[in-house]
């Protein structure tokens, strides 16, 4: 393994500053990765398999066999995974948490329907490289603030600018359910006011907003264009779920254009959010969902999917199972709920997504299920499963190669990554500083 | 015949008939001196908890008791107390009656931003700290307050010690009686006790900003006051220190607030300075009864039991901690538990949201096993004795102040009513009606138009609300008129049998021999009426005695067990040291032998006794055998940088140098994160002060002995350490209008230079110097008796601190966090420091923009001893995984990676001779993992400390089941409590027990859990 690191480092040595870590050029030649354990992402594993991709798309996945006339990269002993997807992050909006000047996460205002994360997404963020080199290739960039934070967009993590980065634009609107449980003693202590009232009042205003939006849409040519209403049309609009598929003779599958992301943790918060979505026939996705395991049947009945914040959290109450956050994915899986695992850690900055999934695997999920929670499940929830999330023919060649089990830090070691067939750099600022001081101390 | 005593009632219509004239005061009008001799006859007199006199006479004169069972003096006003009980009035040691408690005014502001206040803003020749005000004498401010005294008299109190409940040293309290005469008469003793607390109250000064700061301040003040006795010319006059010394001669009452562990903290201070504290307690002391008993301190117990939580909504029930539910159930048992444990205690009405709850809660405590004698003692003799006034108050004895109250019954019974509370021989009426019980058989006559109709009449029921029934002589059926008695006035009314709309209304007055009056019948007839006795009714009250039974057996009632700690995961029965054989495990020794496959380890008497393959052993039941096949045994994880298990704040930010504060003073053994981290294999944690100042407080190394008392958690014999910090936090980066030096890294160096130079000079001073706890700690560093762990990020300042250390001849023991350590690894190696870092944190603040995940690997390769720490309650649960990241980032070998969370932190904490590896003779602090210990799939199956299994994954399932059962039982109990009429308006809303999450800085906010807060002081 040490040798692999050395090889890797040799590859990186050419680059000696973050500024010369270039986004990769379009895939020109067909590439085959061979002799590896291929984790398709749909639960299937191919031992000693090979994957062939061309012009950015996967063209073949099968057991390894000799192949001529294309570039072959021998990945003997390695594991190949779909590019990992982080389902909610402030990547590119938050460069250094404590420095206001480099924060573009939280806009002022209560109902920011028309605020778009994508335009602030900084492709030159030094954080991005540290995710990419861990195999995280796709991210959903989520704005914060207000009760309606605005829209998130999905990006791929190897781009010159946000336009290049875009993978799916404005794909969801974020509703932050106000706290329904007093979290601070003195709020609850006041008996004069109902601690929930303020929250319910805020939600009522949002409800009014959506009713007004519906009324606005009923007018064919409104006198005044309302940017906020225009921005959430997608919540009410059904579109072709798989635009690349020829539906001839088959009933077209439709999906709602924009997801309704409900940021909620406790049972009541989740239920209020889901009922709100039902009222307007939105597509609900719970984000956070610390207590989602307590109401799995309800979530199932209402076809709600869940993006869990991260496994590396403390239990909600001191009487809870101390491992409850680790076990929640398993309980959702058992209940047949579509869920993804996230990593919103503000200190390690999102690069431990894979180890959060690994923890879920230690507490009930199979490794393939844990992998799905950061690949295909996430893709399905984000509405990009037509393009990515598994290593299946026809999908984008978003591929990660690790020398060992990618979910376990002691073996997780990414040696190649491809986004849309482009071999992306695994270099980053941290590796460069590592090199700099190895050079200083003359150590290997 | 019960109809009597009327004249006596008529004697006073007001709370007090007249005011005593004070000799020096001029009179406007006519002087009105009276004899003021009263005799209370035929009473049951409870002289004290031990002695009750039946059918006795009490004589008082001008406010004093002049005799019991003596002939009634001619000049006495006689009050017949037949059927009445006379009790010595209660005494409350902890009151603020007649005093105004100041509130904190808004802090100093500078262009809208908070500025620190470094010294007291109290003008005059006082001390430097605004929270130390021993010079306050509450008697100077005392003003009678009829609204408050009336409430206190109504619950039986006759005297209190009142003080201004504000500050850490609060000055003196005065003994006052609860009458409404001029203050001159109510004030019995000007300085009856001196008061202290951990709460700085209205002080606007920043220091102390934490509980440990408050404790340090008290310590330093003891020393300063002692030193001040030598009249040091460098101090001038210091009224505060003088008063402090003067107050030491008084009884010392220490308010511990609402945290039981504060009782132990106060006791520690008392023992250190030879003081004896009376502790004003909290309702949760029973949760550490043995430790509190061991202090031998006198305790004042409050009766402000928590009200029931409204858990009707199951989602609310979920968030209420089992510990809070249990406490609701158990708090009313506290006085009985103290009695059973033979702990001396007094009772107080302090803390009750309504004084009316006092008797209710007192009776609840009696119902729950507190004996009546102890209760009475705790309200009379004991408090009087503690403040040395038992010769004046606290019992009904000749010569004492005439403070007593009169009831209809045993005061501890629910039905008892206080009629009158006499304070200094002055009568205060609590309740007029019911003094006389009119219960009995009567003849009732109605006279109309010359004819008289006779009825058999019966009065029964509660004397306050008597019920009348009438039966015509010729009839067999009774009817029940409404009887209303208001003092002497009577109304009787009833409706006609046939026509309910028709009312008969009578009125009258209670006369000496009979009740009589007039009225109208429904048909319009004008009548007169009369009610007179048929025969004498047996007074069954006269034989009642004080219930001296010992606490009632409460086995029929299911209540919670006290668990240790008082938390859902607390132990009913604490785990014990065991003889343990771990068979056939993969043992990571951290020693020369490396990793041993298929190896047995024997643990005995808390130590590792033997390591080997197939150790022959004769097993019997005394052995705990654990099959280690396929499992991995490692040394317990040691977290070099932790802030769990600390209460009252981890930061004393208020000065640049606070080496006098000690984390060891403020341990919180109840923190659920102790248990959670045990589940992640942590056995020892180094608890640090925060990082907001260059020289922080003294640290504490603990073992995670879940369930033990604070002192028992401490790692025995470990060297003392101290927290230092560099960078953004210490220069108050986040404060836009900082006024605390330093504001730059340039200033940080000078803080150190100055502090150590002062310490050097201090050591040269003669023996009679003022002892300075801050400089003591710094001198210890210079003398290599105390060791630094320094929060550090950027290379420049790391380098700087090493140069400062070189100048003063010591070594910076540990650089913690040390995220740019890789840039100066060579220099740290040369200096001889240890390093302790995060595995992969970065970019949460400016000074960590160059942090790299390869840091640990580079430093390790440079020959430094490297630890991986958490600084985080959540991450500490998986430090083995954090260590494993050094394999990924930099290719550290597996054994070395594991050492970064075991042996290496042990080395830097100077305890590697005891822990950190699996070696015969070392402490049996080990973890058995389900898997390769560095794998993400590894879970701790057993976490063992000193040969005691503190975490057992199987047992954890049991604990969770118990939590569920116990919670379900308490929820049912709370639900039925809510249905009781007495609970109306008294339920408290469901609230989560918030996780106290301490971090050394505010800018790496980590999403830990939904309900969390940073500890506040």
Condensed to tens digits (0 to 9), the pLDDT of residues A231-263 reads 999 999 999 887 777 777 778 888 899 999 999
Minimal C-alpha gap between A408 and chain B (Å): 5
How many of the other CB atoms lie within 10 Å of CB of B294? Answer: 13
Kindly determine whether residue A347 and residue B823, on different chains, have CB atoms separated by under 8 Å.
no
Q: Decide if A290 touches B, using CB distance below 8 A.
A: yes
What is the rounded distance in angstroms from the CA atom of residue B391 to the CA atom of residue A437?
A: 81
pLDDT digits (tens, 9 = 90+) for B458-515: 988 877 778 899 998 888 888 899 988 877 788 898 888 777 778 888 888 887 778 8
Q: Is the pLDDT of residue B808 over 70?
A: yes
pLDDT digits (tens, 9 = 90+) for B180-218: 999 999 999 999 999 999 999 999 999 999 999 999 999
Q: Decide if B728 touches A, using CB distance below 8 A.
A: yes
Report the length, in residues, of chain B. Answer: 1017
Kindly determine whether residue B885 and residue A409, on different chains, have CB atoms separated by under 8 Å.
yes
**Domain boundaries of chain A, sorted by first residue:** 22-83+389-426, 84-388
In the CATH scheme, what architecture does the domain B440-533 have?
Answer: Beta Barrel (2.40)
Better-predicted residue by pLDDT, A31 or B7:
A31
Q: Decide if A5 touches B, using CB distance below 8 A.
A: yes
Q: How far apart are the first and last CA of chain B?
A: 64
CATH number among 2.40.110.10, 1.10.3720.10, 3.30.390.50, 2.30.40.10, domain A22-83+389-426 = 2.30.40.10
Kindly determine whether residue B850 and residue A433, on different chains, have CB atoms separated by under 8 Å.
yes
Mean pLDDT of chain B: 91
DSSP state of B274: T
Strand duo B157-162 + B90-95: pairing: parallel
Helix (H) or strand (E) holding B315: helix B314-319
CA A4 to chain centre: 28
Mean pLDDT of B641-667: 96
Q: Decide if A96 touches B, using CB distance below 8 A.
A: yes
How many of the other CB atoms lie within 10 Å of CB of B591? Answer: 17
Least confident window among A368-377, B446-455, B693-702: B446-455
Q: Looking at the predicted complex, does its ipTM rise above 0.90? A: yes
Ranges in chain B annotated CATH 3.20.20.140: 637-915
How many of the other CB atoms lie within 10 Å of CB of B847? Answer: 23
To the nearest 5 percent, what fractions of chain A are helix, strand and coil? 30, 25, 45
Nearest CA in chain B to A413: B888
Report CA dihedral (B383, B385, B388, B391) to the nearest 10 degrees: 110
DSSP state of B203: -
Least confident window among A273-287, B269-283, B532-546, B615-629: B532-546
Q: Residues of chain B with pLDDT > 90: what percent?
A: 77
Confidence of residue A189 (pLDDT cuts 50, 70, 90): very low
What is the rounded distance in angstroms from the CA atom of residue A107 to the CA atom of residue B733?
A: 24
Mean pLDDT of B980-988: 86
Q: Is the pLDDT of residue B545 over 60?
A: no
How many of the other CB atoms lie within 10 Å of CB of B477? Answer: 7
What is the rounded distance in angstroms from the CA atom of residue B882 to the CA atom of residue B637?
A: 12
Q: Is the pLDDT of residue B525 over 60?
A: yes
Better-predicted residue by pLDDT, B553 or B319:
B319
Q: Is the pLDDT of residue B561 over 90?
A: no
Mean pLDDT of A339-367: 97
Q: Within a 13 Å sphere around the CA of B161, how many CA atoms are in the beta-carbon half? A: 33
Least confident window among B110-119, B321-330, B519-528, B605-614: B110-119
Better-predicted residue by pLDDT, B349 or B1000:
B349
Mean pLDDT of B409-422: 94
Helix (H, G, I), strand (E, B) or coil at B888: helix
pLDDT for the residue numbered B946: 98
Q: Is the pLDDT of residue B548 over 50?
A: no
Confidence of residue B1005 (pLDDT cuts 50, 70, 90): very low
Confidence of residue B1009 (pLDDT cuts 50, 70, 90): low
What is the rounded distance in angstroms from the CA atom of residue B582 to the CA atom of residue B624?
A: 8
Confidence of residue B109 (pLDDT cuts 50, 70, 90): low
pLDDT for the residue numbered A16: 47
Mean pLDDT of A373-385: 97
Q: Is the pLDDT of residue A3 over 60?
A: no
Better-predicted residue by pLDDT, B141 or B440:
B141
Mean pLDDT of chain A: 92
Q: Decide if A408 touches B, using CB distance below 8 A.
A: yes
**CA proximity to B317, closest of A317, A221, A68:** A317
- Do the two domains A22-83+389-426 and A84-388 of this chain adopt the same fold? no
The phi and psi torsions of B404 (rounded to 5 degrees) equal: -160, 165
Q: In what order do the strands lie in the sheet with B298-302?
A: B90-95, B157-162, B169-177, B187-197, B252-255, B277-280, B298-302, B345-348
Strand partners, B444: B455, B531
Q: Decide if B879 touches A, using CB distance below 8 A.
A: no
Mean pLDDT of A146-151: 98
pLDDT for the residue numbered B603: 98
Report CA dihedral (B730, B735, B739, B743) to the nearest 10 degrees: 40
Confidence of residue B105 (pLDDT cuts 50, 70, 90): confident
Distance set, CA B273 to CA B226, B267, B285, B898 (Å) = 10, 10, 23, 45
Q: Decide if B613 touches A, using CB distance below 8 A.
A: no
**Left (φ > 0), alpha (ψ -120 to 50) or beta: where does B891 sit?**
left
Q: Is the pLDDT of residue B48 over 80?
A: yes
B637-915 is a CATH 3.90.550.10 domain: no
Confidence of residue A12 (pLDDT cuts 50, 70, 90): very low
Q: Is the pLDDT of residue B869 over 60?
A: yes
Return the ∠ at Cα B635 (arms to B634 and B641), rounded to 5°.
125
pLDDT for the residue numbered A240: 86
Which among A184, A346, A441 is the nearest to B1006, CB-wise? A346
Mean pLDDT of B997-1009: 56
Nearest CA in chain B to A352: B840
pLDDT for the residue numbered A195: 60
Q: Is the pLDDT of residue B178 over 60?
A: yes
pLDDT for the residue numbered A17: 62
Yes or no: say if B398 and B61 are a contact pair by the CB < 8 Å rule: no
What is the rounded distance in angstroms from the CA atom of residue B566 to the CA atom of residue B556?
A: 23
Q: Return residues 730-759 of B near A (CB < 8 Å).
A: 733-734
Query: Considering the domain A84-388 in this protein, what is its CATH number?
Result: 3.20.20.140
pLDDT for the residue numbered B21: 59
Kindly determine whether residue B822 and residue A437, on different chains, have CB atoms separated by under 8 Å.
yes
Minimal C-alpha gap between A252 and chain B (Å): 42
Confidence of residue B422 (pLDDT cuts 50, 70, 90): very high
Concatenated DSSP letters of A70-93: SEEEE-TT-EEEEPEEEEEE-TTT
Q: Is the pLDDT of residue B667 over 90?
A: yes
Q: Is the pLDDT of residue B377 over 70?
A: yes
Kindly determine whether residue A188 and residue B991, on different chains, have CB atoms separated by under 8 Å.
yes
Confidence of residue B542 (pLDDT cuts 50, 70, 90): very low
Query: Which of B314, B1011, B1016 would best serve as a mutation to test chain A binding (most A beta carbons within 10 A)?
Result: B1011
What is the rounded distance in angstroms from the CA atom of residue B857 to the CA atom of residue B863?
A: 10
How many of the other CB atoms lie within 10 Å of CB of A135? Answer: 25
How many of the other CB atoms lie within 10 Å of CB of B605? Answer: 11
Minimal C-alpha gap between A74 and chain B (Å): 22
Yes or no: say if A316 and A290 are a contact pair by the CB < 8 Å rule: yes
Minimal C-alpha gap between B885 and chain A (Å): 6
DSSP state of B16: -
Confidence of residue B999 (pLDDT cuts 50, 70, 90): low
Yes or no: say if B815 and B842 are a contact pair by the CB < 8 Å rule: no
Q: Is the pLDDT of residue A185 over 50?
A: no
Confidence of residue A109 (pLDDT cuts 50, 70, 90): very high
């Amino acid at each position: 393994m040490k040798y692999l690191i050395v090889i890797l480092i040799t590859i990186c040595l050419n680059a000696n500053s973050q500024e010369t870590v270039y986004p990769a050029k379009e895939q020109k030649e067909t590439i085959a990765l061979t002799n590896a354990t291929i984790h398709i992402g749909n639960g299937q594993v191919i031992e000693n398999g090979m994957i062939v991709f061309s012009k950015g798309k996967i063209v073949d996945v099968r057991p390894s066999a000799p192949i001529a006339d294309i570039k072959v990269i021998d990945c003997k002993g390695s594991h190949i995974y779909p590019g990992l997807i982080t389902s909610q992050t402030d990547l590119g909006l938050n460069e250094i948490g404590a420095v206001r000047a480099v924060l573009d996460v939280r806009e002022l205002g209560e109902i920011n329907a028309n605020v778009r994360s994508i335009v602030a997404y900084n492709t030159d963020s030094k954080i991005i490289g540290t995710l990419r080199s861990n195999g995280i290739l796709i991210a959903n960039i989520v704005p914060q603030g207000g009760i309606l934070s605005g829209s998130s967009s999905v990006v791929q993590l190897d781009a010159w600018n946000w336009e290049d980065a875009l993978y799916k634009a404005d794909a969801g609107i974020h509703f932050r359910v106000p706290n329904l449980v007093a979290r601070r003693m003195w709020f609850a202590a006041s008996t004069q006011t109902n601690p929930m009232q303020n929250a319910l009042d805020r939600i009522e205003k949002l409800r009014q907003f959506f009713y007004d939006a519906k009324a606005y849409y009923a007018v064919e040519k409104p006198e005044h264009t309302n940017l906020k209403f225009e921005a959430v049309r997608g919540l009410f609009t059904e579109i072709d779920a798989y635009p690349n598929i020829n539906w001839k003779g088959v009933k077209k599958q439709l999906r709602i254009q924009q997801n309704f992301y409900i940021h909620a943790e406790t049972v009541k918060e989740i239920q209020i959010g889901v009922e709100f979505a039902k009222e307007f026939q939105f597509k609900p996705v719970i984000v956070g969902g610390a207590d989602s395991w307590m109401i799995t049947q309800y979530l199932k009945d209402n076809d709600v999917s869940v993006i869990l914040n991260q496994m590396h959290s403390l239990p909600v109450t001191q009487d809870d199972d101390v491992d409850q956050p680790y076990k929640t994915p398993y309980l959702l899986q058992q209940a047949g709920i579509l869920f993804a695992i996230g990593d919103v850690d503000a200190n390690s900055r999102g690069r431990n997504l894979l180890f959060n999934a690994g923890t879920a695997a230690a507490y009930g999920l199979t490794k393939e299920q844990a992998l799905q929670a950061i690949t295909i499940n996430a893709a399905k929830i984000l509405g990009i499963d037509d393009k990515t999330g598994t290593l299946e023919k026809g999908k984008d060649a978003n591929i990660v190669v690790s020398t060992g089990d990618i979910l376990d830090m002691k073996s997780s070691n990414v040696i190649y990554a491809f986004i849309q067939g482009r071999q992306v750099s695994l270099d980053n600022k941290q590796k460069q500083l590592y090199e700099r001081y190895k050079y200083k101390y003359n150590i290997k | 015949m019960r109809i009597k005593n009327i004249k006596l009632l008529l004697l006073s219509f007001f709370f007090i008939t007249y005011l005593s004239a004070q000799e020096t005061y001029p009179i406007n009008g006519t002087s009105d001196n009276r004899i003021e001799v009263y005799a209370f006859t035929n009473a049951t007199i409870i002289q004290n908890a031990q002695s009750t006199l039946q059918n006795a006479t009490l004589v008082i004169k001008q406010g004093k008791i002049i005799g019991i069972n003596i002939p009634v003096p001619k000049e006495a006003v006689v009050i017949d107390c037949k059927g009445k009980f006379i009790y010595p009035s209660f005494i409350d040691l902890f009151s603020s009656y007649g005093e105004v408690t100041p509130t904190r005014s808004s802090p100093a502001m500078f262009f809208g931003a908070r500025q620190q206040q470094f010294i007291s803003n109290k003008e005059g020749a006082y001390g430097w700290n605004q929270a130390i005000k021993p010079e306050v004498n509450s008697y100077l401010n005392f003003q009678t307050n009829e609204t408050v005294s009336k409430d206190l008299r109504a619950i039986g109190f006759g005297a209190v010690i009142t003080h201004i409940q504000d500050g850490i040293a609060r000055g003196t309290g005065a003994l006052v009686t609860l009458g409404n005469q001029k203050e001159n008469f109510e004030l019995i003793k000007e300085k009856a006790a001196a008061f202290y607390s951990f709460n700085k109250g209205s002080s606007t000064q920043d220091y102390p900003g934490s509980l440990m700061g408050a404790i340090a301040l008290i310590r330093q003040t003891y020393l300063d006051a002692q030193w001040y006795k030598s009249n040091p010319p460098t101090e001038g006059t210091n009224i505060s220190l003088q008063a402090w010394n003067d107050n030491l001669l008084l009884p010392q009452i220490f308010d511990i607030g609402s945290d039981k562990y504060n009782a132990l903290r106060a006791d520690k201070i008392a023992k250190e300075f030879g003081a004896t504290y009376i502790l004003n307690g909290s309702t949760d002391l029973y949760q550490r009864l043995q430790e509190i008993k061991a202090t031998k301190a006198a305790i004042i117990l409050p009766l402000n039991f928590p009200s029931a939580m409204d858990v009707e909504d199951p989602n609310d029930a979920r968030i209420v901690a089992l510990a809070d539910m249990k406490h609701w159930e158990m708090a009313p048992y506290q006085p009985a538990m103290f009695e059973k444990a033979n702990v001396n205690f007094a009772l107080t009405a302090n803390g009750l949201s309504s004084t009316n709850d006092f008797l209710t809660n007192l009776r609840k405590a009696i119902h729950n096993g507190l004996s009546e004698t102890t209760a009475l003692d705790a309200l009379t003799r004991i408090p009087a004795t503690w403040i040395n006034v038992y010769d004046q108050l606290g019992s009904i004895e000749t010569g004492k102040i005439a403070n007593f109250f009169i009831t209809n019954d045993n005061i501890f019974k629910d039905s008892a009513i206080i009629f009158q509370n006499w304070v200094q021989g002055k009568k205060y009426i609590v309740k007029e009606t019911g003094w006389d019980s009119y219960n009995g058989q009567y003849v009732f006559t109605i006279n109309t138009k010359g004819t008289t109709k006779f009825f058999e009449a019966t009065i029964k029921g509660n004397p306050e609300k008597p019920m009348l029934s009438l039966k015509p002589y010729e009839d067999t059926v009774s009817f029940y008129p409404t009887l209303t008695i208001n003092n002497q006035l009577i109304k009787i009314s009833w409706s006609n049998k046939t026509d309910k709309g028709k009312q008969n209304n009578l009125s009258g007055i209670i006369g000496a021999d009979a009740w009589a009056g007039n009225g109208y019948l429904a048909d319009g007839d004008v009548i007169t009426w009369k009610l007179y006795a048929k025969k004498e009714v047996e007074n069954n009250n006269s034989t009642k005695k004080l219930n001296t039974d010992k606490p009632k057996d409460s086995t029929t009632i299911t209540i919670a067990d006290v668990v240790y700690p008082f938390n859902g995961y607390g132990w009913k029965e604490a785990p014990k040291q065991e003889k343990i054989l771990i068979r056939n495990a993969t043992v990571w020794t951290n020693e020369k032998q490396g990793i041993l496959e298929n190896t047995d380890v024997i643990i005995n008497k808390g130590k590792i006794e033997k390591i080997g393959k197939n150790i022959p052993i004769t097993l019997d039941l005394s052995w705990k055998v654990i099959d280690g096949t396929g499992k991995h045994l490692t040394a317990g994880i040691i977290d070099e940088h932790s802030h769990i298990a600390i209460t009252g704040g981890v930061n004393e930010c208020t000065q640049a140098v606070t080496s006098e504060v000690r984390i060891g003073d403020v341990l919180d053994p109840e923190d659920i994160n102790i248990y959670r981290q045990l589940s992640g294999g942590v056995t020892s944690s180094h608890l640090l002060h925060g990082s907001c100042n260059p020289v922080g407080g003294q640290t504490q190394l603990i073992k995670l002995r879940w369930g033990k008392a604070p002192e028992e958690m401490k790692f025995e014999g470990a060297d003392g350490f101290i927290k230092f910090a560099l960078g953004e936090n210490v220069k108050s980066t986040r404060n836009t209008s900082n006024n605390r030096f330093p504001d730059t890294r340039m200033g940080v160096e000078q803080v150190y230079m100055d502090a150590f130079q002062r310490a050097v000079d201090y050591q040269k001073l003669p023996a009679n110097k003022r002892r300075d706890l801050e400089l003591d700690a710094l001198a210890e560093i210079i003398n290599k008796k105390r060791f630094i762990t320094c929060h550090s990020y950027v290379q420049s300042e790391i380098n700087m601190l090493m140069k400062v250390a070189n100048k003063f001849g010591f070594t910076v023991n540990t650089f913690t966090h040390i995220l740019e350590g890789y840039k100066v690894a060579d220099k740290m190696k040369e200096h001889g420091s240890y390093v302790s870092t995060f595995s992969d944190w970065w970019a949460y603040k400016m000074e960590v923009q160059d942090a790299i995940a390869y840091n640990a690997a580079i430093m390790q390769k440079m020959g430094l001893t490297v630890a991986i720490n958490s600084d985080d309650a959540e991450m500490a649960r998986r430090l083995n995984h954090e260590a494993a990241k050094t394999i990924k980032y930099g290719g550290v070998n597996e054994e070395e990676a594991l050492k970064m969370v075991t042996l290496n932190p042990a080395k830097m904490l100077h305890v590697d001779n005891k822990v950190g590896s699996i070696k015969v003779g070392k402490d049996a602090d080990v973890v058995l993992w389900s898997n390769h210990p560095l794998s993400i799939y590894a879970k701790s199956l057993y976490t063992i400390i000193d040969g005691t299994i503190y975490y057992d994954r199987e047992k954890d399932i049991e604990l969770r089941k118990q939590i569920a059962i116990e919670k379900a039982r308490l929820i049912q109990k709370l639900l039925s409590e809510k249905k009781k009429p007495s609970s109306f308006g008294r339920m408290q809303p469901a609230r989560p027990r918030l996780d106290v999450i301490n971090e050394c800085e505010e800018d790496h906010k980590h999403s830990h859990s939904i309900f969390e807060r940073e500890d506040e002081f």
